[in-house]
Amino acid sequence: MRKCMSRYEVLIFDADETLFDYTRGQAYALEKSLTKVGIVFDPIGHIDLYKHINDRLWKELEDGKIDRAALRNERFKLVLDEIGCTSADPAAVSDDYLNELGNAGFMIDGAIVLLEELHKHFRLALLTNGFSQVQHGRIARTNTAVFFDAIVISEEVGCQKPQREIFDLLLDELGHENRRNVLMIGDSLSSDITGGVNAGVDTCWYNPEGIQCPAEIVPTYIVDDYDGIRKIVLG
C-alpha cells in the first residue's frame, strides 16, 4: 500500500447506488420476475410502483418497524395487489427477483476505476444493508471482493445501518480503533450518513442528483461525482 497525504486510512463504501447501479439492476430483475408470472411488463409504471413501495418498506426497516423477512415478501404482495395479479405467489416472485438481482452485476460508470485507484492507498471496506444472496452474487460477478479488506452485510450480522453496532463490527473486523481517520461514503442520508454520524466517523454523501440536504443532517462532505471523492481523500 502506497502512502498518500490524506487524513484517512479506512474508507467504508456503501454498495447500492454508491458503487453498484441498483436502478439498472432493479429494472432488470423486476422485468424478469414479473414476466415469469405472465405480467406484461410496464418499464415505467411497474418500476415506479415497485420503487414507491420498496423505498417505504426499507425506511420502515431502518426505523425498526418491520423485519427483513416481512420486507422481502410484503413488497411483492403489495405490488401484485396493485397490478391486480392474484394468481402469483408473492414469496415465489420475491425469490425470483432476488435471484435475478444477484445476477445483475451492473456497476456505476467509473466505480471499478475508483476502487482500483483507492485500493492502492487505503484500506477499503464494504458495508451494506442489502440482502446477502444479492450482494454476494453481484460481488462475485464483478470481481470486486479483491478491493475490500472487509465486507459486512447486515443480514449476516443481525444489525444494520444506521445503527452504530454494525460500524463497530466492521471496525473490529478490520482491527481499526481510530475513528478520526475513517470515512463513510454513501448515497443514503438515512442509513449511510446518519449511520456514520452515529458511529463517530466522518461522512461523505455521494449525491449525483444534487438533492438538497435537510438541515438536521450534516455530512462532513457532499460530492456529486467520483472526482469529488478523489479530491477529499487524495488531495
Domains plus CATH for the chain?
Answer: 10-21+107-234 (3.40.50.1000), 23-103 (1.10.150.240)
What is the signed CA dihedral for 82, 86, 92, 95, rounded to 10 degrees? Answer: -10
The whole-number pLDDT of residue 3 equals 52
Element (H, E) at 186: strand 182-186
What would the grid cell of residue 91 be? 414469496
Are the CB atoms for 144 and 19 separated by under 8 Å?
A: yes
The whole-number pLDDT of residue 5 equals 66
| Residue 227 known to be catalytic | no
Catalytic residue selected from 14, 16, 187, 202: 14
Residue ranges of the chain with pLDDT lower than 50? 1
Cβ neighbour number for residue 184 with a 10 Å cutoff: 28
Going by DSSP bridges, is the β-strand pair 10-13/123-128 parallel, antiparallel, or unpaired?
A: parallel
Task: Kindly report whether the global pTM for this prediction surpasses the value 0.85.
Answer: yes
The whole-number pLDDT of residue 4 equals 61
- Of 17, 22, 64, 72, which Cα lies nearest the Cα of 158? 64
Are the CB atoms for 98 and 132 separated by under 8 Å?
A: no
